[in-house]
Structure 1
Amino acid sequence: MEGVVRSGLVVGLGNPLLDISANVDEDFLSKYDMKPNNAILAEDKHKPLYDEMVQKYKVNYIPGGATQNTLRVAQWILKQPDVTVFMGCVGRDKYSKILEDKTRSEGVNVQYQYTDKEPTGTCAVLVTSNGNHRSLCANLAAANCFTIDHIHKPENKVYIDSAKFFYVSGFFLTVSPPSIMEVANHALKHDCPFMMNLSAPFLSQFFKEPMMQAMPYVDILFGNETVITAFANEQGFGTDDLMEIALKITQLPKKNLKRPRIAIITHGQNPVLLAKDGIVNEFPAIRLPPEKVVDTNGAGDAFVGGFLAQLVMGKPLETCIRCGIWTATEIIQRSGCTFDGPPTFLE
């Protein structure tokens, strides 16, 4: 029923991270062998980066992690707490307290798994080119420790059983494929939409097996032009035309034939593509003057948050996409995946 939302409609799985965000110079990127607009997992050579950032630049601490960002934005649009439930693993430390307090205050029902083995995960967000580029370096730490036991706990199983929408970021493929598959099978069995974001190019390359194991369950797939092109290359699609790629994605094998797969591709200031039922539609992005772009970090997560908020209210896909475009445009005018004041999206 359109417009009626209840608690616990959406369950999201992902890596809860505290974003440590700063505007840095290009030399800092080079020093740590990082590229603009890329997302990587921290290696040993990146470990000193976090302390150096804090010492050298003015940093902001912002709740992060792709799925958590998406649910925070969805809650902002919905203006009703606890519609979304988030699960991921954190350490028992001050960072997890900051994360939980902030995320709960924004309306997300946080159900973290806690570990004593690792500290809470962090993500360095290195912003360059006056906000137009952002490079992410995630030290997953505790986020890597998520286990399927967490969703089997009776108090968490209740959330899975009562949800009607499920969302995972591709980043979670590096952590707990069994949890993804369990939720995907549950969504299939109960004919609930299961949604996934391709998230980063390295996932299509190095986590191809768990990704393609999950793909037949995916009803709605999200990705930007970079990750979609990487996926197409790995799958041998033989084209870099985004419209063709989107259609080919919808034609990959699928379990739930009652829900034809939908592919949604974002592309910066270019139109968003929606591939469905053999047709690709374009939705123009909102063009901002360059001086208004503060930070593109979280734009993709925000897009999905806006999309999800309308989807759970039963709105048409076109409205979902236009809200996604609106939320992404709002987010890039601020530092990090943050928002302020009531949302003004109307349709």
Structure 2
Amino acid sequence: MTVVFIHPFQSLCVVLAKKKKSCFVGNANNRRHMDPGLSQLPFTHHFLDFPANRVPRSCVNARPIFPGSQLGVPVRQQHFLLFPKHVVSTCSKFIKKFFSTFEIPHFRIVMPAPSENTLFGMGNPLLDISAVVDKDFLDKYGLKPNDQILAEDKHKALFEEIVKRREVEYHAGGSTQNSVKIAQWMIQKPHKVATFFGCIGTDRFGEILKKKADEAHVDARYYEQSEEPTGTCAACITGDNRSLVANLAAAQCYKKEQHLDLDSNWDLATKAKVYYIAGFFLTVSPPSMLKVAKHASQNDKLFCMNLSAPFICQFFNGAMMDIMPYVDILFGNETEAASFGKQLGFQTDDIGEIAGLTRSLPKDNPARPRVVVFTQGKDPTVATVGDKVTTFPVLDIDQNHIVDTNGAGDAFVGGFLSALVQEHPLEECIRAGHYAANVIIRRVGCTFPEQPDFH
């Protein structure tokens, strides 16, 4: 098997499996040991020397090279060749064609496992509470079997009553928290690649939320206050229907000065290389979003945002456009894209054209062109690739296997981000997003199996 990965020192390592039981670390002075044709690569002058018969210790954060291998110890049946990272980004097609020409099978690219706190998310944390109820319960609180509403005063007792049900499930929720949670699930290890900031209450639900975030291996650093209770979202399940009642409460109380601006928290935030904040947070703390977005732009990092909902595009357009010059990757679905385009006077209903026009909006860091990604449910995902707009088909699924589509958008973003922090190209990020969404819509709520089956 041939494996290619980029280790933390920003070089590309090509590993060639051999039948003979010997090991050699390739370098520019020992080309006679290489396979025929390898010396023809135009990058051999970039080879680096390593101690004979040992895997370079600079690769300690990379995933296992092959079953049973251990990094930093002698290996068998391997050859190592190193290239700088820029070779991969500029010449990946040539490299793949080269290996194909010399009939080296199973060529694939595996990126290194990212370090802790590489991905930063900030948003409205909610504790998702799911329980099976009956029609009388729905009628008592004036709920429809399949609906999504914000809690009113008459729903306050609902949250106290639903937790007394026989089988209750709790999950760390909220749009951004869902996405970073799924990104962490896709990555698996190391834990705490994803960091999350948001506001909760000093109450029982807050303690449960902290526990659930920890179980998801997300490094959640909540701003805790006592004025409002922890935000919750009750999922009242009747048969195949879910009636969602959200009480944002503390989630709307995030204070930049009392949390993000603290040295310890800001130091943690600046460790990230990729930032993601859903548009919903524009209703809570635009100054916090702007601080993070400017930091990303000034330090050549990636800042990602989601349109989140048509009402965000309509009623918070001013705050959104203040952030837009710093947005490197913009997500949304077709409904949100249409609302955004209408608000900006694009005079077109074509999602591809809206994506192209959105890409061309003013940008603070013009050296990094904006990427726009619009999902369309079962229809192909639309994305800007350079100056062009391209579509990417979603995974097929039997309609009978679809259980709940509410978390599909968050899941897509989470899958996308999991590949992005590992520096995969756009096509692979979208493929990861499609996979994650395909998994989540087969289950109730934004939940997932223990491990992903994604390669």
Please give the TM-score of this superposition, normalised by the length of structure 2. Answer: 0.69
Give the conservation status (yes or no) of the 8 Å contact 1:25–1:128.
yes
Does residue 152 of the first structure (1) align with residue 266 of the second (2)? no
Instruction: Using the TM superposition, give the Cα deviation of residue 294 of structure 1 relative to its aligned residue in structure 2, in angstroms.
Output: 1.3
Aligned counterpart, 2:404: 295
Higher relative contact order (CA 8 A, sep 6+): 1
Q: Partners in 1 of 2:314 and 2:233 — Cα distance?
A: 21
CA offset digits 1:61-80 (Å, max 9, x no partner): 32210111111111111112
Partner of 1:85: 195
* Of 281-290 and 14-23, the range deviating more from structure 2: 14-23
Which whole-Å CA distance do the structure 2 matches of 1:225 and 1:145 have between them? 30
Q: Following TM superposition, by how much is the alpha carbon of 1:190 offset from its aligned partner in structure 2, in angstroms?
A: 0.4
Larger-Rg structure = 2
Q: Offset of 1:58 from its aligned partner?
A: 7.1
Deviation at 1:3, TM superposition (A): 1.9
Residue in 2 that maps onto 1:204: 313
What residue ranges of structure 2 are gaps of 5+ in the alignment?
A: 1-9, 11-110
Match of 1:193 among 279, 302, 314: 302
Cα pair distance change 1:57/1:242, threshold 3 Å: farther
Distance in structure 1 (CA, Å) of the matches to 2:351 and 2:382:
8
Shift in Å, 1:314:
1.1
Give the equivalent residue in structure 1 for 2:223. Answer: 113
Deviations 1:156-210 (A, max 9, x none): 1111221111110111111111100110111111011100011111111111111
* Larger helix fraction of residues: 1
Matched with 1:247 is: 356
Would you say 1:101 and 2:186 are equivalent positions?
A: no
**Cα separation, 2, equivalents of 1:231 and 1:126:** 32
Larger mean CA deviation between 44-53 and 289-298 belongs to 44-53
Q: Trace 1:1-347 onto structure 2 (pairs within 5 A).
A: 1=10, 2-21=111-130, 41-44=150-153, 47=156, 50=159, 60-80=169-189, 81-125=191-235, 130=240, 136-149=244-257, 150-346=259-455
Structure 1, unmatched stretches of 5+, are none
Larger CA deviation: 316-325 vs 289-298: 289-298
- Tell me the SS of whatever aligns to 1:296: coil
Q: CA deviation at 1:42?
A: 4.0
Amino acid at match of 2:124: N
2 CA distance for matches of 1:203 and 1:115? 26
In structure 2, do the counterparts of structure 1 residues 204 and 160 end up closer, same or farther at CA, with 3 Å as the change threshold? same
The sequence identity of aligned pairs, in percent, is: 48
Aligned equivalents of 1:37 and 1:194: distance in 2? 32
Distance 2:314 2:135 in 1: 26
Aligned residue type for 1:82: K
Counterpart CA distance in 2 for 1:135 and 1:254 is 40
Question: Taking structure 1 as reference, are residues 341 and 57 closer, same or farther at Cα in structure 2, changes over 3 Å only?
Answer: closer
Q: 1:200 to 1:129 in 2, by over 3 A?
A: farther
| Equivalent pairs, count | 342
Go from structure 1 to structure 2 and tell me whether the alpha carbon gap of 1:58 and 1:225 turns closer, same or farther (over 3 Å shift): farther
- Do the aligned partners of residues 191 and 41 (structure 1) sit closer, same or farther apart at CA in structure 2, a change above 3 Å counting? farther
The residue identity in structure 2 corresponding to 1:144 is Q
Match of 2:270, SS state, is: helix
Q: Structure 1 residues 250, 60: closer, same or farther in 2, change over 3 A? A: same
The two structures, once aligned, show a CA RMSD in angstroms of: 2.6
Task: Select between 137-146 and 65-74 the one with higher mean Cα deviation.
Answer: 137-146
- CA drift of 1:338 comes to 0.8
TM (normalized to structure 1)?
0.90
